[in-house]
Chain A
């Protein structure tokens, strides 16, 4: 009963307790949920400490006949993301204290189940367990959006479900293909990631398997053509829902790419680098452009997260240590910064019952603290130094720059567009003449301040000391991206730049 199973069990038990506490009044349910998430944070911090000594593994046989093992493992990357999950979990419970009025118990049950699914995804090293967690995430999110959402919640919930589910079908096919290839080559049936990485696949096979996995994860990230579900899901989701959706669900897609797609099919990964980089960069620009034109607060923030995730994927596509660390950093920062923006959107909606910019304007005098927080998060999302986003973007641009100078230059300009829409969020709501439409808005109370305060402190800490996130990672680059390193010639040749010595990441972490 190591810490890993505890991490998965605590939210699940929390969900159970919330269901049981359903009969009593709402506050006890919220209390139970808060307790569960706080315990979860404590465990996650313990995990970070434990992982420093080396990856923790917990492995039991689950369905031996088919080779499915209950195999949880945590290395640097998983530990950080689990911590992010826990933190966002606490903030989500805090923020939905006053927003969710009806069916409070089932809301918290679904939310905690969602957290269980996410933690399972981040810790699983067995393909089927991973897929189980992957599907487990979908259902609660569907209900969170469908039941507690805003105007046309059904449309968005169904759209979200279908998009992701269709994607996961491709992913399943690819995974099963590798599974059967492994069985054909070695005679034993196993779903463990470590074993499946040993299957030797021809480059064309790898290309197809990576395509399947890539489609499954690209829908989730979301990458450019498959992203239209995100704005709808975000605008209609309740605050806690869109906080978890933005903060965590998008990361599971990227994590999937890192943990399963790249190691399983290295040649596939290197073959896909140009496409991934192209889509990512275009996503950055496209997300920014579309964000600027939005009239709905949450829709704008949703498009902005497409732009941010573009940076993350670019960091992966670049394949060197800088890009890789930038991707992980950007994942954590995006979770915090965009999460913060969604919190504020939720708070504004709670007070003004609207999200459209036409109605907002000149609110700063009435709600100064909320305005201050919004200013901080808007600046964080455009990557002001002093917040983590700047470091993430700097690493990704640096990584892209050292890979191919024109790529770095193009990505650099993406940052300018980020500034345009982020400022618009702040100006359209807070600045401008005194708002006639809203008179007596009450400012944030202590609970909302703590929720937003946690995010602000974390962002600044990462901004000034990014090694808190990157040090535990020192395991990850060597294990995760040896494949890209091992085959650096084709990758570099693909890129048209002179092959670099530092390209092979696995030599030493600091080489590049």
Chain B
């Protein structure tokens, strides 16, 4: 009775949006945000899986995703700060050029 199939479709859609965000936006923060979206979508799929099979394992796995996402954001943003300090911008294309000098 759980809408698990639909949840899986939803996670697919969310994941696609995350990927598009990652490719399209040129700002580093948006890249980090898109990673968050993708992680979240993956988590949703896990939970949908556990709903389908009735085992808790799916949900356990989501619990693991949370710390990973947290750690990832922590370091990501720290790096973003340092990059911003050095390159005065967060535009990935500009950073690529600056990095080369």
Do A and B have CB atoms closer than 8 angstroms in the complex?
Answer: no
